[in-house]
Chain A
Amino acid sequence: MTAVRRATAYLVLTAAALVFIYPFVLSLATSLKPRDEVAAHPVLPWPLSPSSRAWEDILIHSDFPLWTLNSVLVTVFATLLRLFLDSLAGYALARLNWRGRGSVFALVLAILAVPPIVLTVPRFLVLKEMSLLNSYAGLVLPLAVDAVGIFIMTQFFQGLPRELEEAARIDGANIFQTYWKVVLPLARPGLLTLAILSFQGTWNEFLLPLIVVRASPSHWTLPFGLSTLGRGGAGGQTYDYPVMLAGSMLTILPVAIIFLILQRFFVRGIAAGAVKG
């Protein structure tokens, strides 16, 4: 690669990185600006006279803490359930010999092809019939199993060596003990990938809370609560941008931290997604 070509590559990449990162930096800065400064210096990526007004508004004088708590609860329970149920099913599909395995796996693949938007009305219907509207169970249970996760775990278990399992079986462990004590510890990287995928998906989930707990503010999650700040303004001057952006930053923060620490597992999730197609 010539020096000119390499310089061009760096230039292109730096410009692109700016386009992707600057909006976040600017938003964080804006959440710390007083309102008049936002209008006067909209481009400046740091506050001239820093103000904690917006953050106090959302952390003390609003329901953001409650929404955050709800988001944490829903995300934790949905992710734990998903890890257990997806890996259990994935193990059976990858390792056990049983009648119907092929059909069940085909079913999982078929479900992968269903676009989520088609589920809006169906999910509402079923949760209504089960009297789970406006409840935590209604927010968690539909997310507790997913076809993508089962697929990822099936793939992962197929890549593990069989010897340890066979040794455990010969030592007299039953199938569940083998799965729980021998296989799961080996499957830690796969479980972590799934956990991150599930954490990110559940934390950001918007459509489900919208249709399930819209009428019950005490059950609102962070993305849904956040959305109520901007409804109906259509780009006007009336928005309180520091507050909107402080809320947005708060919603992004947990995923951002985990993303920066566990990046390679996010990337692995994408690879799994790529296989899925």
Chain B
Amino acid sequence: MVDTTQLPGTAETAAVPGPAGRRRRNRTSRIHGRQGLAGWLFVMPALLGLGTFLLLPILLALWVSFRDWSGLAPLDTSTPAGLDNYRDLLVKSGIVQSDFAKSLRNNLYYVLGVVPVQTALAFFLAVVVNAKLLKGKTFFRTAFYFPSVTSSIAVAFIFVFLFSPTGVVNVLLSALLPGSVETVWLNEPDGVFHVVLGWLGVDTPPGLLADHRFMGLSYWDWLSGPSLALLTIMALATWTTIGTFMLMFLAGLQNIPEDLDEAALIDGASPRQRFFRITVPLMRPTLFLVLTLGIIGTWQVFDQIYAMTSGGPQKATLTPAYLIYRDGFENSAMGRAAAIAFIVFAIILVFTGIQRFVLRGRTE
């Protein structure tokens, strides 16, 4: 590992070679002097690439998020907007705010649904695949991991087909449930919590929940639960990511020293005890990684939404990532799109921070 602490300061300031008089260290070794030049020459193309397409653009976008710009006209025709873009999204009531609130609600259910399920299933499959004396491990690993390497749009279409009105999912459900199921999954906008309450006879929201609003959305609407359309996309996301996370868990499991398990066995620990007292605690770093990557990934869901629902039906699958595209590239509100991106960035930081805090709390 390269020592990252040895030289404080930014790359830019370090890039300026000091005046010749400061090079007292290099008197001892001419090779190091040449390596100094070569080092910079070697990383320069990569730094130029990263600077041009990552760092500079992010700073530029931060600036744009405080301006009013259509994205079509040249950038210098944009006008200053102060905090307006952020205010429209977060504070000022109107369709911009309520759309953003809906996108946050949808994505929140998406994260809370997908991350625990994909983590648990991936861990479960990894443990089963890792069992001793099991044949065909490579085959199962390959099968589980395959969806992860394929095009997001292609698998989105496969799921559109599986969940179509006459598709496999409805055929299976019709076989299992009384009556025939003809749900148009991707066309169902109602939140499942609302649907279930409707079955129980609660059709109109209690006054308390209907009257109070947060970001332009009533508490009742915040508590709607995910729609069937969103649940379909959540199933897709879980299906495509399990394989990757299973491989990570598998790598972690194979790193657990075997003698530890044997020692516990000799001490008379049951399989259950060995699993929960030895395997699970030792897997905490991998669990941490998988949860972090899961949270980062699920807050950015875009391709599937674009290909399957375009944010519909009735905005039930709108997500912040899709709003960035819709507002910036279809509605010509590039400043607002940039603002959404930075809010999403902040949300991801907060969520990974919370997760870090919760996991740390358990170890101490």
Contacts and interface: CB of A to CB of B under 8 A. Distances in A.
Interface of A: 1, 6, 9-10, 12-13, 16-17, 19-21, 23-24, 26-27, 30, 39, 42-43, 85-86, 88-89, 91-94, 96-109, 111, 114-126, 128-129, 141-142, 144-145, 147, 150, 154, 158, 169, 175-176, 179, 200, 203-204, 206-207, 210-211, 214, 222-224, 226-227, 229-237, 239, 241, 244-245, 247-249, 251-252, 255-256, 259-260, 263, 266-267, 270-271, 273-274, 277
B154 A252 contact: yes
Contacts of B32: 97
A96 B5 CA distance: 17
Given A96-B39, A210-B306, A17 B144 contact: yes
Contacts of A231: 307, 310
A6 B134 contact: yes
Contacts of B292: 277
Taking residues whose C-beta sits less than 8 angstroms from the other chain, chain B's interface range is: 35 or more
Given A206-B303, A234-B310, A235-B164, A93 B50 contact: no
Contacts of A236: 165, 184, 187
Nearest to B247: A270
B58 interface: yes
A107 B47 CA distance: 10
Main secondary structure on B side of the interface with A: helix
Contacts of A249: 154
13 contacts: A100-B15, A103-B7, A118-B342, A119-B57, A120-B321, A122-B57, A128-B71, A226-B154, A234-B186, A234-B187, A249-B154, A255-B149, A255-B150
Contact of B248 (A24, A122, A226, A270): A270
Interface centre among A17, A106, A274 (most CB of B within 10 A): A274
Nearest to B58: A122
Main secondary structure on A side of the interface with B: helix
Contacts, number: 348
Nearest to B175: A43
Contacts of A259: 146, 149
Contacts of A154: 2
B358 interface: no
Interface string B44-56: 0111011011111
Contact of B300 (A115, A122, A230, A255): A115
A229 B158 CA distance: 13
B316 to A, nearest CB: 11
Contacts of B157: 226, 229-230, 244-245, 247-248
Contact of B46 (A86, A99, A270): A86
A88 B43 contact: yes
Given A86-B46, A125-B61, A125-B64, A20 B239 contact: yes
B158 A211 contact: no
A42 B329 contact: no
B270 to A, nearest CB: 14
Contacts of A88: 42-43, 45-46
Interface string B320-339: 01001100110000100110
Interface of B: 1-11, 14-15, 17-18, 31-32, 34-40, 42-43, 45-47, 49-50, 52-58, 60-61, 64, 71, 75, 125, 128-129, 131-134, 136, 138-147, 149-168, 171-172, 184-187, 229, 239, 243-244, 247-248, 251, 286, 288-289, 292-293, 296, 299-300, 302-303, 306-310, 312-313, 321, 324-325, 328-329, 334, 337-338, 341-342, 344-345, 348
A93 B164 contact: no
Contacts of B184: 235-236
A97 B36 contact: yes
Given A27-B158, A245-B157, A93 B43 contact: yes
Contacts of A263: 138, 142
Contacts of B286: 274
A115 B54 CA distance: 11
A117 B321 CA distance: 7
A179 B42 CA distance: 10
B307 to A, nearest CB: 5
Contacts of A266: 145, 149
A1 B133 contact: yes
Interface centre among A109, A142, A224, A277 (most CB of B within 10 A): A277
